[in-house]
Amino acid sequence: MSKVAVEKDVEIDSQAKNGLLGDVKGYARKIYLAGLGAYAKAGAEGLEYFRELVKTGEQVEGKGRKRVDEQVEAANSRIELVKNNVTELKGKVDVQLERIERAFDTRVAAGLSRLGIPSRQDVEMLSAKLDELSALLEHVARTK
C-alpha cells in the first residue's frame, strides 16, 4: 500500500471519529440542557405541586380518620351488645345452678334419711334439747 492511501485511510478514520465524537457531545449537551430545564421547571412549579399534594393528603387523612372512627364505633357497639348478652346469660346460669344445688341437696338429704343418718336440722334440735336438759339438771342440782 502506498503512503498516500494510508494517509487517506487515517484522514477518513479521524473524520469519522470527529463526527461521532461531535454527535456524542451534542447528545450529552442536549441531555444536560433537558435536565437543567426540568430542574428549573420543577423549581417554578414545585411549590404549587407540593401544596396540591398536601391538600390531597389532608383530604385522604380526613376520610381515613372518619372511616376508622366509624369502624371503632361499630366495634364498640358490638362489644357492648355481647357484654349485655353475657351478663344476661350469666344471670340465667346462676338461676339454673341454684336450682341444681337445691335439687342435689334435697336428694342427698333424702338418701341420708333413708340410711338413718340424721340431718343437720335433726342434730340441731337434739343439741337444743340437750341444752334444755342440762339446764334443768343444773337447776335441780342447785335446789337440792
Highest mean pLDDT among 11-20, 30-39, 67-76: 67-76
116: left (phi over 0), alpha (psi -120 to 50) or beta: left
Residue pair 119/113 in contact (Cβ under 8 Å)? The answer is yes
Q: What is the mean pLDDT of residues 33-61?
A: 80
Angle at 22 between CA 21 and CA 27, to 5 degrees: 100
Domain ranges of the chain: 3-117
Stretch among 24-38, 43-57, 99-113, 129-143 having the lowest mean pLDDT? 43-57
CB count in 10 Å sphere of residue 124: 11
Question: In this structure, are residues 109 and 119 in contact, taking their beta carbons and an 8 Å threshold?
Answer: yes
Q: Is the pLDDT of residue 116 over 90?
A: no
DSSP string, 116-143: T---HHHHHHHHHHHHHHHHHHHHHHHH
Query: For residue 61, is pLDDT > 60?
Result: yes
Mean pLDDT in residue range 17-46: 76
Residues 112 and 119 sit within 8 Å (Cβ to Cβ): yes
Read off the pLDDT band of 40 (50, 70, 90). Answer: confident
Residue 26 has pLDDT above 90, yes or no: no
